[in-house]
Amino acid sequence: MIVVRGGRSLFGRVRAAGAKNAALPAIFASLLTSEPVELLHVPCLRDVETAVELVEALGKEVLWEGGRLVIREAGPLSPRAPEGLVRRMRASFLVLGPLVARLGEAQVPLPGGCAIGTRPVDLHLKGLSALGAELTVRGGWVHARAPRLQGRTVYLDYPSVGATEQLLLAGALADRETVVLNPAREPEVVDLSRLLSAMGAETHWEEDRVTVKGGRELSGASWEVIPDRIEAGTFLLAGAITGGKVRVEGVIPEHLGALLVKLGEAGVGVELGGDWVEVAAKGGLRGVNLETRPYPGFPTDLQPPMVSLLSLARGESLVTETVFEGRFGHVGELLRMGASIRRQGASLLIRGVEGLTGTRTLASDIRAGAALVLAGLVAQGTTYVEGTEHIHRGYENLTEKLRELGAWIWEEGRESSR
């Protein structure tokens, strides 16, 4: 349980960790080659631990020292993914494409993960089927067979991050070119394509498509994971909600474009450098309207902490969630803290209040947990956030980093208060 005592403005600098959502597909890309893959700037997170356990269970050996992973082949790869690991984390489903591309068969259970909506995998299966995989779904498992995948043109009805990554991974060992029309363009997807290029596949991005030209074999590679724009955005929101001044270093500012625009509209001062972003309070917060959208739109992963900030903004805000219909687990908890939020279908009508009050809360998913921690930073009294296992899946040393910025925060069972 995380314990937060509100009332302190945050000041200082914090360095962004590596992006979880880039590290996970990079780890699964190691299944495409028998040669070593070295990954740098890897965050120490529960989801990364799950990904490491999964590739080890499939036949890899992983050396993990600090932020460096070295993944080697330890023996013959298994085509069957352990059910417990895949159900623990949705991204684990990405092993399906690499396994069937390299081994000609794969057995992967349908995935689990955060309870933020239905998140079907139909686009994954449609894409792999188009590449020639024979797919059967029974008993909660996907069975895939393909003597050799064949590159094709695949149109995605929605620019799904997972489906785009699945097709890039599978296409990297397919005969001929695979063209994905209407792909996801999130920085983490582009980072995966660049890693695949470093391993010997040819990838090319155009305005409406990404192309991957595979080969019979891929080589190993050494690759540095991009900074985590969601973690960086969370710390910027923490500085803004507390009326402080926080600089996040080691970031790619353009990856944060939509958030920075909305922070500016809300009355927050924003400054940019080559690899840093700084926010500073300029006065009271103002309400804004926003919709979550695929990149470069406002990221769904920053909607919950943004809602915490807007709960204290002057006037009204309208927040519409278009990516995950279930991403409102934080709303009920914020209401218990005194926020004024009314749900209208896929939208939240937020009326700013003078202040929030600390209470016991429960994090239902990773980003809801971050939202409740941020609310606790400004709430009167003490806020207790349970469900910290979710937060540890997506944030590396969150409480320690916030404490270094001046927050009065600790986690029971892991550290003592200061």
- Kind and range of the H or E element at 340? strand 340-344
pLDDT, position 114: 44
Mean pLDDT calculated for residue range 229-241: 98
Q: 62 has which bridge partners?
A: 71
- For the question of whether the overall pTM of this predicted structure is more than 0.85, the answer is yes
- What pLDDT does 116 receive? 38
CA distances from 353 to 144, 307, 375 (A): 53, 12, 12
Q: Is the pLDDT of residue 270 over 80?
A: yes
- The reported pLDDT for the residue numbered 351 is 98
pLDDT band at residue 417 using 50, 70 and 90 as cut-offs: very low
> Which range is least confidently modeled, 241-250, 291-300, 406-415?
406-415
- In this predicted structure, the answer to whether residue 283 has a pLDDT above a threshold of 80 is yes
Report the range of poorest mean pLDDT among 116-125, 129-138, 178-187, 364-373: 116-125
pLDDT at 111: 84
Q: Say what the pLDDT of residue 117 is.
A: 45
**DSSP code string of 37-92:** EEEES----HHHHHHHHHHHHTTEEEEEETTEEEEEE-SSPPSB--HHHHHH-GGG
Helices (H) and strands (E) in the chain, counts: 14, 23
Q: Is the pLDDT of residue 201 over 70?
A: yes
Q: Which of 20-34, 192-206, 299-313, 402-416 has the lowest mean pLDDT?
A: 402-416
State the pLDDT at residue 106.
Answer: 98
Q: Count how many residues are written for the chain.
A: 418
Q: Categorize the per-residue pLDDT at 39 as very low, low, confident or very high, splitting at 50, 70 and 90.
A: very high
pLDDT band, residue 153 (cuts 50/70/90): very high
Catalytic annotation present for 114: yes
Percent of the chain with pLDDT over 70: 97
- pLDDT given at position 119: 52
Mean pLDDT score, 22-40: 98
In the predicted structure, residue 83 carries a pLDDT above the cut 80? yes
- 75 φ, ψ (degrees, to nearest 5): 170, -170
State the chain's mean pLDDT as an integer. 94
Asked if the domains 2-17+227-411 and 20-224 are classified in one and the same CATH topology, the answer is yes
Indicate which residue of 55, 58, 114, 407 is catalytic.
Answer: 114
Rounded mean pLDDT, 16-38: 98
- Domain positions in the chain are 2-17+227-411, 20-224
The model's confidence at residue 326, banded by pLDDT at 50, 70 and 90, is confident
Is residue 118 scored above 80 in pLDDT? no
Q: Does domain 20-224 have CATH number 3.65.10.10?
A: yes
CATH 3.65.10.10 assigned to domain 2-17+227-411? The reply is yes
User: What is the mean predicted confidence (pLDDT) over 258-268?
Assistant: 98
pLDDT number for residue 414: 62
% of the chain with per-residue pLDDT over 90: 91
At residue 387's C-alpha, the angle toward residues 382 and 393, to 5°, is 120
The residue written with tokens 């894409």 in the block is: 127
Using the predicted structure, report yes or no on whether residue 55 has a pLDDT greater than 60.
Answer: yes
> Which has more pLDDT, 378 or 140?
378
pLDDT at 112: 61
Phi-psi region of 372 (alpha: psi -120 to 50; beta: other; left: phi over 0): alpha
Confidence band (pLDDT; 50, 70, 90) for 216? confident
How far apart, in whole angstroms, are the C-alpha atoms of residue 42 and residue 218? Answer: 22
